[in-house]
Amino acid sequence: MLMKPTIICVDDEPIVLKSLKAELKEILQNTYSIEMAESGEEAIDLLKDIQKNNGTVELVISDFVMPRMNGQQLLTRIHDLSPMTEKVMLSGRTNNEGLVQTINSIRLFRFIDKPWDKQFLQATVNEAIHSYRQESQLKHQHKLLVKNNQQLNELIHEKEKLADELKELNQELEERVLQRTKELVESEKMASLGGMVAGVAHEINTPIGNCVTSASYLQEESIKIHNLYKQNTLVKKDLENFIESTANAAKIILKATSQASHLIDSFKQVAVDISNEELREFNLNEYIHLVLANLQPDMVKASNQIDIKGAEKLVIESYPGIISQIFTHLLINSQDHAFDDHGYIQIEIRYEDQNVKVSYRDDGKGMDSDTLGNIFEPFFTTCRHSGHLGLGLHILYNQVTQNLGGTIDCHSTPNKGSLFELSFPIGLDKVGSSENKIDHLKHT
């Protein structure tokens, strides 16, 4: 059970304490724990006990004239032990040099003359509690600011790490381009490879540039907010604006690094650097639905109708990451090349002769025979003017034939859509056998 916040009243006269406590209870309506102490030493012990039990003392109201430890000495100790606690002084004396010194040294919230005015006491207590709550909120916001700065530093570190990886990749790409040029010097495809390398560098530099711009902006904003905090001019609105800006910039950085990472992965796959994927059992129909649900809106237009049918209970043993990439490439290919505005896509799953058969059909523009004969070739594209590199279907072909040990064919006629037919084993063990996986098959 959470402890109530506490107010400590200190006076060496019991009758004054009793009166003060009664009025505070009337003001605060049992929302606070009111503790009384007849000496400064007793008040210090109370504060330490409350802190030991993870409680909070929001306000100390102390008499100025007390034996042994007077109000000035007590509130000085209170300030040392709990700087955020608000402090109010009671005294029947005026023009006291000690009071002025206390106000200046311990950030005394207010001085109240004895006997006090009830309305003035009520206003003082409410304002002191409000001041404490504001100070607590500001401290909490500062902790969030520190946390956001730490996250920003981590993002900057990741950006620097990605830049180092990009440098290594560029060097590796240059070496591979030289090797491929020697092997395919008589091939027409090599004529455009140099231009493709430049395109790759341009595509990667764009997200990296976005990272640098966003990180620099966040660094500037962090310095501004830090200076406001040091100057004690920081207000809640400043923090809210900074937190919103930090969140937006972080989204930009994460999106840009994701784009760069995707480009790097794509080129590694073009070089047939087959990565280690997790082999596991999963429901193929459900997993394709999951892939569609997780594709970003700009990758699959909302106006496209996509139907998935067949083999709803078919469990296969394969590489879900590769399956995800295959259907992502197919969907993006339909969006970018088959449809001007919207279209219809049908995915049908079947089981035949220990193999999974998938038919992927769209009702888009279709292809002529020359285009159809080159769609799986690297760097072949009919939309180079739109920034396409011609790698998607080549990567898909390698994933189906090499990673899954299957086959893929395409049939298409102009203005009558396209049909991709995929076939791969229902189960993949270390030698590519699938016989021991047939028991998992359950037809719909």
* Residue 328: partners with Cβ closer than 8 Å, 6 or more residues away: 291, 295, 299
Q: Which two tokens stand for residue 389?
A: 């590199």
Same domain? 294 vs 392: yes
* Residue 130 within a domain: no
Same domain? 227 vs 296: no
The alpha-helical segments, DSSP class H, found in 38-117 are: 40-52, 71-81, 97-106
Helices (H) and strands (E) in the chain, counts: 11, 12
Which residue type, as a one-letter code, is found at position 15?
Answer: I
**Pick from 381, 384, 340: nearest CA to 363:** 340
Same domain? 354 vs 380: yes
Same domain? 403 vs 287: yes
Same domain? 171 vs 311: no
The reported pLDDT for the residue numbered 294 is 58
Same domain? 295 vs 430: yes
Same domain? 240 vs 388: no
Query: Which range marks the domain in which residue 243 is found?
Result: 136-270
Whole-number Å distance between alpha carbons of 437 and 59:
71
Domain boundary among 214, 244, 270: 270
Report the predicted TM-score, pTM, of the whole model to 2 decimal places: 0.39
* Helix/strand/coil for 213: helix
**What CATH number is given to the structural domain containing 373?**
3.30.565.10
- pLDDT, one tens digit for every residue, the chain (444 residues): 567 899 999 999 999 999 999 999 989 988 999 999 999 999 999 999 999 999 999 999 999 889 889 988 999 999 999 999 999 998 876 545 555 665 666 788 888 988 899 999 999 999 999 999 998 899 889 889 999 999 989 889 888 888 888 888 888 888 886 676 445 433 433 333 333 344 456 567 777 888 888 888 888 888 988 888 888 888 888 788 888 888 888 888 888 788 777 666 545 543 333 344 677 888 888 888 877 765 644 455 555 688 888 888 889 888 887 888 888 888 888 887 778 777 888 999 998 888 899 999 988 888 888 888 888 887 777 766 555 566 778 888 888 888 888 999 999 888 888 999 999 988 865 333 334 444 444 443
Q: To which residue do tokens 């699938």 refer?
A: 434
DSSP 427: B
Q: Label residue 198 exposed, middle or buried (CB < 10 Å: 0-12, 13-18, 19+).
A: exposed
Is residue 407 within 8 A of residue 356, CB to CB? The reply is: no
* Helix/strand/coil for 378: coil
